[in-house]
Structure 1
Amino acid sequence: MELDQLRYFLKVAQRGNFTRAAEELMISQPALSRSIQKLEEELGQPVFERKTRSVLLTDAGTLLQARSQQVLTILEDTKSEITDDGQCGRVRVGAIPTIAPYFLPEVLQRFSAKFPKANLIVQENTTDVLIKSCRQGEIDLAILVLPVPAKYLEVEELFEEELLLVLPPHHALVEKDKIRVADVEPFPFVLLDEAHCLSDNIVSFCRQRSFQPVVVERTSQLTMVQELVSLAHGISLIPAMARQCDQSQRRVYRSFTGRKPTRTVAVAWNPYRFQSRLLVAFRECLRR
């Protein structure tokens, strides 16, 4: 049994499809199929139940998946520990889309200046995907928003930031000196898709103020939310870090009077994986 066979097997199990797995592994599908076939011959039973367009793990495959992840994790951590000099190495960072483009560039630049030999890899995805990747060791840490619904991960709060009301320039609320949360209740909202935790933050805040926001449009990108607001499709709440990067005059940002909506940004990592000196240094860079 070879390590590449285990890696190939895990990729097929993850994608549930030989074609997609082969594309990500950058090998031909026949080569991937032969590798899995040899693995099954050695084990004496199938690890996948083949269907027309997908594959499912058999009982043997489920056991092999857990053991393969353990084997590869131990080997990777061993190599990292042996070669850990505090200067060279790889740090795989995950972040949700409403944080990555606004918060990470400055952090990455600062860290790279101090550790020029480090290899930084950034993955942008939703909370659920990043938690799974962090737990399985596919990334070293994830920058998320609390709460983080995950066991076996260490979570550290970084900072709290305000969510600002964003309006089109000629909206009725722009002329008000003070805007209360109750003032936005009659107006339609533009939000991100439900897969994004920012939408949950906004809806939860509104419900705590005894009203359900009427969502007229959803989109997958925060910049599109801002553009739809500019076109008077609705109003929304935007993280302060995104507002700082917005130089457009086509939107107006306001802070609520009284208790303000906020979100808490945190970093999560798998404490059962080897923590290189470079990774520890990166977490310290995040704290600063």
Structure 2
Amino acid sequence: MDLDQLRYFLQVAREGSFTRAAETLHISQPALSRSIQKLEEEFGRPVFERKTRSVELTDAGQLLQSRAQQVLSILDDTKSELMDDGESGRVRIGAIPTIAPYFLPTVLRRFSQKFPRATVFVQESTTDVLLKSCTQGEIDLAVLALPVPAKYLEVEELFEEELLLVLPTDHPLVEKDKIRVADVEPFPFVLLDEAHCLSDNIVSFCRQRSFQPVAVERISQLAMVQELVSLSHGISMIPAMARQLDQSDRRVYRSFAGKKPTRTVAVAWNPYRFQSRLLEAFRECLRQ
């Protein structure tokens, strides 16, 4: 058994497919299949149950997955600790799509100016995927919005951010001096799909004010939500950081009167993994 075999095995387990894993690993599918076959021959037991278009872990495969993650994590941490000079190395960052393009560029620019020899990798995905990646050591930290349903991660709040009402320019609410939450109840909403926590923030805020927003469309990208609002498909709520980058004159942003909807942006990391000086420096950039 060698380390590449373990890495290949874990990638197939993540993808649930030899084809997709081979594409991600940039190796041929026959080479990947031979590597897994040798692993199974060494154990004398199959680690995958082959199906027509997918594979699933056997009981032996589930045990190997846990142990392989531990082995590779220990080796990665050892290498990081031995090479930790506080100036060079790798930092792997994850962020949810409603934060990554709006908040991270400034942080990444500041960090690269201060640590030009460091390499930063960025992964954009949903909260569930990032928390799993962070727990398993595939990324070093995740920038997301609370709440964070993770038992074994350290979570630090960074800041609270207002959610702004976004309207098409010809919407009747545009003319109101003050817009209260009750004013938006009759109107349909355009929301992100249920995989995105921003929709949970919006729905939770509305429910606390005794109404359920009616979503006429569910979208996977925040920019598309903004465009559909411009086309009068509905109204929505957008994080202030996204509004700051929006130069369009085809939609109007308003702050609610009274109690305002907000979300709390936080950073999460696995405290059981080695915490390099470079990683702490990146967290400090996030705090600033």
Query: TM-score of the superposition, structure 2-length normalised?
Result: 0.99
Secondary structure of the equivalent of 2:279? helix
The Cα offsets for residues 21-77 of structure 1, whole Å up to 9 and x where unpaired, read as 111111001101111111111111111111111111111111111110000000000
1:200 match: 200
1:31 match: 31
Letter in 1 for 2:221: Q
Once superposed, what is the RMSD of the aligned Cα atoms? 0.6
1:200-219 correspondence runs (5 A): 200-219=200-219
1:158 match: 158
Letter in 2 for 1:244: Q
Letter in 2 for 1:119: T
Q: What are the ranges of 5 or more consecutive residues in structure 2 without an aligned counterpart?
A: none
Secondary structure of the equivalent of 1:170? coil
**Cα distance between partner residues in 2 of 1:187 and 1:51:** 47
Percent of matched pairs sharing the same residue = 84
Secondary structure of the equivalent of 2:237? strand
2:149 match: 149
**Cα distance between partner residues in 1 of 2:24 and 2:112:** 28
The number of residues matched between the two structures is 288
1:51 match: 51
1:251 match: 251
Structure 1 residue 261, shift from structure 2 partner: 0.2
1:183 match: 183
1:88 match: 88
Secondary structure of the equivalent of 2:93? strand
Q: What are the ranges of 5 or more consecutive residues in structure 1 without an aligned counterpart?
A: none
1:93-132 correspondence runs (5 A): 93-132=93-132
The Cα offsets for residues 178-197 of structure 1, whole Å up to 9 and x where unpaired, read as 11100000011001111100
**Cα distance between partner residues in 2 of 1:243 and 1:251:** 10
The Cα offsets for residues 225-251 of structure 1, whole Å up to 9 and x where unpaired, read as 011111111100000000000111111
Letter in 1 for 2:3: L
1:252-271 correspondence runs (5 A): 252-271=252-271
**Cα distance between partner residues in 2 of 1:56 and 1:174:** 53
Letter in 2 for 1:59: D
1:7-22 correspondence runs (5 A): 7-22=7-22
**Cα distance between partner residues in 2 of 1:16 and 1:175:** 53
The Cα offsets for residues 173-213 of structure 1, whole Å up to 9 and x where unpaired, read as 11110111000000110011111000011011101100011
* Structure 1 residue ranges, 4+ long, deviating more than 2 angstroms after superposition: none
Letter in 2 for 1:245: L
Secondary structure of the equivalent of 1:92? strand
Structure 1 residue 16, shift from structure 2 partner: 1.1
1:64-83 correspondence runs (5 A): 64-83=64-83
**Cα distance between partner residues in 2 of 1:7 and 1:42:** 16
Letter in 2 for 1:221: Q
**Cα distance between partner residues in 2 of 1:183 and 1:33:** 60
**Cα distance between partner residues in 2 of 1:54 and 1:251:** 45
Letter in 1 for 2:27: I
Structure 1 residue 15, shift from structure 2 partner: 1.0
**Cα distance between partner residues in 2 of 1:54 and 1:115:** 42
Secondary structure of the equivalent of 2:190? strand
**Cα distance between partner residues in 2 of 1:249 and 1:34:** 57
